[in-house]
Structure 1
């Protein structure tokens, strides 16, 4: 790697390797995320060949986490956050407690100190922001009831870890620290409660500033920039606000980058331009999210699997089984549906960025043995690899539990069962396009059913006596729930052509005679969707152009 261009080499090497291995993973019908992790292992110091800069990669990955959390904030409101506080706060605290105790129990069995066990347990208790968000986005449940609870849970974990990172140096002597490792011990001899109070005060101050000042200034600033008419300047403003708020939150208030970015996005969601802001930042979010997974792979030393196979399995069991079981039981205790409990437990069955920070802090202070850090990293990369399987198994476990134990299978999806519709229309996605189509069908008294991931929209539709199912349409069960096998028409309003193609394949398998209308954004997408079975593909820009020209022609005819 050229010594004078480490940043360029790290970005280029990371993205090129991620593309190669991601494409291979996709070819092998496994999630591209697996390929990104393998690319990181290849670019890491534990394998021969190209080695990316070990100090730059985590910082680039942090930008990915910032942009991901900013994107979530853009689709999340203060109302959404408050609506899940009753389960997210006690649930996250209880789950952190259970996972930490399990980690401490394992460390006690292998003879580690109390301090080492505490840090090890805490590292295994907190889920990765990037992994959780990617999982929710891939399954289109970010705006669902489960997605809101998972995000609220994540925010509570984030705040808890901010407090932990402040308190561990202050408690260094009690935890058995042998040296500071560059960590200040100023509060060690002082009042621990004072340190905790100051930290909580900073978090509250940050939230207050964002709610009072940010809520007014950020939408106002975005509107002023949009009024200039410069698309380039608008895009720059979005990124500057996201990164600036994240960095400022950390420097001034001591909270994490991710939390700062989330609140920046949530305040920007108050603007009418939030949808455009989300679109403008999406390509950069995706690119840096890939670098996050590459950086995780770079930290992994595969030899730990050979050196300590039993300890690796025990660590993985705590993450996949212990954490999942704890969150599953907690959600059920709050009288939430079985499906919600399974989604939350699958979402949290992995660890990530905060785990690495805790491990590095423990090593730096001489509290955690080097093996502990290796186990945390092994647990992280293996749990991230297995996490998609956890989601895939959720429907199977759901059906087995409901059948075996007779547990209530009632969910939001079943709260208002759709009837045995026949000769109706199925609308997938009820945003601006889907709702327009739905209103037209309703006015014409034509029966239709809706598949939509946004729980709030589902309730509104059901209040109007419209059959609606809360789910991701890229799921055969969702299509069956609205009786697509008996439908005449399927209207696909999904903006993503690849997802739409998958739904087309599922719908055709269930109902070969159904007529499918799909949405496209380009001639290439029109061709792609038509080849995959869409009967009609409508491109918005083309229809607008035809409508405008038709208006001109009718005006000319009227003049003559």
Structure 2
């Protein structure tokens, strides 16, 4: 067979097998990327049968990493992170530290060097954003407070890992590895590190000052031409050229370049379109990345070192999870937030692979170490969906044992009680608003302008702290818990307004509220027409639904205009 078709063979076989195993994984309710990894294992040189070209696979993996990071950059939202920063930033940093120390402690017991142990520990500390977004999306938790905290937590982890990827090549010699380029070997290590940090700072400044204005301008310019393929090409060219430019000019890793490319594309007015148009390409390269990672894996390790693999999986799924849950409870969030964040982190993924590959190329990790990381990722991602399914039963089990629930959910929480300054006569005929989202915020503003008394019940503690700082009466917690509505003095309230939320939860909140105050009037916001119909059939309150209200207002305006025109006509 001629040598020139290696790439085509690799793509044909790789995609074909990825499709088959991805389908099987999806049917088994697992993330399809497990299927892609298995497809890679089958065509790897380490297993009998078809062999793909590993050098080609590595280059494709680089492209895959670039597109993955571009995607992470496009999802990266500073606003989302700011909403949950008080818990996500310290939580993620402490949890990375705990997981890294666990990994290092274990591998140093096995007699590894400090440098190897450090890279290995870091590889185990960061969860996969791809796996998490899918797990939360499947369960409809992406917009929930718990989902936002989990995603914010992972964004912080991603940022820390991006920093590690930048610093690792510069510090490789310090850690006992080999630098990739020979000329940096003779220099002073601190000088190298300083120069690296300066280059990174230069690159970030360049992207934030020039890139942030230039890229969206170019995208807008091309979008006006109305050609779809030119638009897609612009976005892809921006991603790849910024990634390569960052590497060629600033010596920054291509992954970091692609991450910032995603961030600046997100700034443009066409970011949604850019995301949609490049999605197929990003997904294709992400699949290639997982296939090529599978090609690096040697399944023999499963038989040769089962004990080591068990230890690695225990750190990923038990050590990390317990550390994260303890931190969430320490920040006084409820038990179900702790369980959701814990489950979100009980896996490792793309950053671990990128770090492992970098570690091997710097001679800080052996191939065995890389195989252990890959095995840990395969097993933890496979089991992750079961961990998510266990959240509800575990919560019920804890709640059934009141001493445990009391131990874990501390009730002496200042935010769960209204401050003493809120007088008793304020808490008569007030309006209780559940959820301070877009709708809750606008209603609150209007009512406050009219000096109408409002109490807000909201799950996100940071929002509650901000409201209190502005002097708004607010309690933290889920309104499905009677204690939260009791704190909001629902007994004496005139009205209950419920922001869009899960139908089951709406029923729970209304039931509790009506038990405490049978005469209460309830207003409900529905997300869509189906919900509005369902809620009206149940007849638990007055239902509002955005598009319907908009149509009513516009119709009223049109009729008013027509009447005015008629009146003018008569006068004429």
The alignment status of 1:355 with 2:389, answered yes or no, reads no
Q: Is the 8 A contact 1:451 1:482 kept in 2?
A: no
The alignment status of 1:435 with 2:441, answered yes or no, reads yes
Partner of 1:558: 564
Q: In structure 2, do the counterparts of structure 1 residues 360 and 537 end up closer, same or farther at CA, with 3 Å as the change threshold?
A: same
Partner of 1:28: none
Partner of 1:106: 106
Matches within 5 A, 1:141-180: 141=145, 148=152, 151-168=155-172, 170=173, 174-175=176-177
C-alpha distance in structure 2 between counterparts of 1:84 and 1:70, whole Å: 23
The alignment status of 1:43 with 2:39, answered yes or no, reads yes
Partner of 1:213: 210
User: Which of 407, 420, 425 is the matching residue for 1:404?
Assistant: 407
**Cα deviation, residue 159, structure 1:** 0.5
C-alpha distance in structure 2 between counterparts of 1:504 and 1:284, whole Å: 38
TM-score relative to the length of structure 1: 0.69
The alignment status of 1:312 with 2:319, answered yes or no, reads no
Partner of 2:275: 281
Q: Is the 8 A contact 2:458 2:464 kept in 1?
A: no
Aligned-pair Cα RMSD in Å: 5.5
C-alpha distance in structure 1 between counterparts of 2:451 and 2:49, whole Å: 65
SS in 1 for 2:121: helix
Q: Is the 8 A contact 1:350 1:387 kept in 2?
A: yes
C-alpha distance in structure 2 between counterparts of 1:316 and 1:371, whole Å: 15
Q: Deviations over 1:347-384 (max 9, x none)?
A: 55543333223333444566544332221112223333
Q: Is the 8 A contact 2:127 2:349 kept in 1?
A: yes
Partner of 2:367: 370
TM-score relative to the length of structure 2: 0.68
Partner of 1:380: 377
Q: Is the 8 A contact 2:308 2:372 kept in 1?
A: yes
Larger radius of gyration: 2
Q: Is the 8 A contact 1:315 1:375 kept in 2?
A: yes
Q: Deviations over 1:77-121 (max 9, x none)?
A: 8x8899899948xx73x7656544543443344444555444433
The alignment status of 1:467 with 2:474, answered yes or no, reads yes
Matches within 5 A, 1:116-515: 116-131=116-131, 138-139=141-142, 140-141=144-145, 148=152, 151-168=155-172, 170=173, 174-175=176-177, 183-217=180-214, 228=224, 245-256=242-253, 259-260=256-257, 263=260, 273=269, 277-278=271-272, 281=275, 288=282, 292=286, 296=290, 299=294, 304-323=301-320, 336-337=331-332, 348-364=345-361, 368-386=365-383, 389=387, 392=391, 403-404=406-407, 410=413, 426-428=433-435, 430-431=437-438, 433-440=439-446, 443=450, 445=452, 449-451=456-458, 453=460, 455-456=462-463, 459-460=466-467, 463-467=470-474, 469=476, 481-482=484-485, 491-493=498-500, 500-501=502-503, 503-504=505-506
Q: In structure 2, do the counterparts of structure 1 residues 392 and 150 end up closer, same or farther at CA, with 3 Å as the change threshold?
A: same
Matches within 5 A, 1:63-78: 63-73=67-77, 75=79
**Cα deviation, residue 553, structure 1:** 3.2
Aligned residues: 523
Q: Deviations over 1:224-250 (max 9, x none)?
A: 677x49596878766665665455434
Name whichever of 408-417 and 189-198 sits farther off.
408-417
